[in-house]
Amino acid sequence: KNLQTDGFRIYQVEKSRVNSEHPYSKFFTGNKATLLDGTKRQGIDLRQELIRFYEQYYSANQMTLAIAGPQSLSSLKKYVEAGFSTVPNRNAGRPEESWANISPVAPGNSVVPSLGYVVEVVPVTDSRQLTLSWPIIKPLEEREDGLYTKPEEYVTHLLGHEGPGSIISYLKRKGWANGLGASVATDISDFFVVEVNVPLTTAGLEAVDSVCAAIFSYIKMVQSENIPDYIFDEVLQINE
């Protein structure tokens, strides 16, 4: 059924734009034929591969546990020890260490061109949608210490603003869009993808270049002007 689902099809196009040597580019869905019959033909024991993966990566040092309750701290500690003390600690390395030096974006080394290209997708359903995406590579030092400043939260808040002077207010006034959403579509260990999705009207589809120009014009304005402090405070409050 995934073959006829536009969301899955578009997601696979996105993955195909990533460096073919990066694990994110791998095909992500399957069925009995590909998972069982296909692996048997290749001489792969799927169950043994799952067990091998489990034994390599299922380790207490890879996990974080959060517990909350009205009981005392000592009682909660006893509950945790009773329920989780048997989880083995294999001192496993993080899976992402194996691709730490592989850039997710490598122009010329992807199935579908990665940067600076327009990719047209023929939908299964009757839909008109524009998606602009920007892959952002996370700084290495922030990947290593597990902390991240989340600039994407700030950016998507500005792009998705719906008040006066916003992108969507302009696009609706022109009769080009029915809505606009800005979000992080993908967020893994070494990069994330910021997306702006615009459900287009028939007129908007015909004027898609002008829609893109309006969005990039707004981004240029954000880059060149000082953003009021209250915008940051709004984002902070929303995420608390």
Q: Are residues 95 and 134 both part of a single domain?
A: no
Q: Are residues 79 and 180 in the same domain?
A: no
**Is 158 part of a structural domain of the chain?**
yes
Contact 139, 18 (CB under 8 A): no
Name the residue range of residue 76's domain: 2-99
48 and 149 part of one domain: no
Q: Residues 134, 215: one domain?
A: yes
Residue 222, domain member (yes or no): yes
Boundary of a domain, candidates 84, 99, 114: 99
* Torsion angles phi and psi, residue 194, rounded to 5: -90, 130
Our count of domains for the chain comes to: 2
Query: 14 and 71: one domain?
Result: yes
Cβ-contact 200, 212 below 8 angstroms: no
Q: Looking at the structure, do residues 136 and 93 belong to the same domain, yes or no?
A: no
Of 77, 99, 121, which one is at a domain's C-terminal end?
Answer: 99
Instruction: Dihedral sign for Cα 23, 27, 128, 163, please.
Output: negative
Distance CA 183, CA 46 (A): 35
In a domain, 109, yes or no: no
pTM of the complete model: 0.78
C-alpha closest to that of 233 among 124, 120, 157, 133: 157
- Does 122 map to a domain? no
Q: Is residue 111 part of a domain?
A: no
* Position 113 in a domain: no
Print pLDDT tens along the chain (240 aa): 677 888 888 888 899 999 999 999 988 877 888 888 889 999 999 899 999 999 999 999 989 999 999 999 999 999 999 999 999 999 998 888 888 889 998 888 999 888 888 989 898 888 999 999 998 888 777 666 655 667 788 889 889 989 898 999 999 999 999 999 999 988 888 888 999 999 999 999 999 999 999 999 999 998 898 888 888 888 888 777
- 167 and 230 co-located in one domain: yes
> Where among 61, 82, 99 does a domain terminate?
99
- Gap between the Cα atoms of 150 and 184, Å rounded: 10
> What is the per-residue pLDDT across 103-149, written as a single tens digit (0 to 9) for each?
998 888 999 888 888 989 898 888 999 999 998 888 777 666 655 66
* Structural domain includes residue 186: yes
Tell me the CATH number at 186. Answer: 3.30.830.10
Does residue 53 lie within any of the structural domains?
yes
81 by Cβ neighbours in 10 Å (0-12 / 13-18 / 19+) ranks as exposed
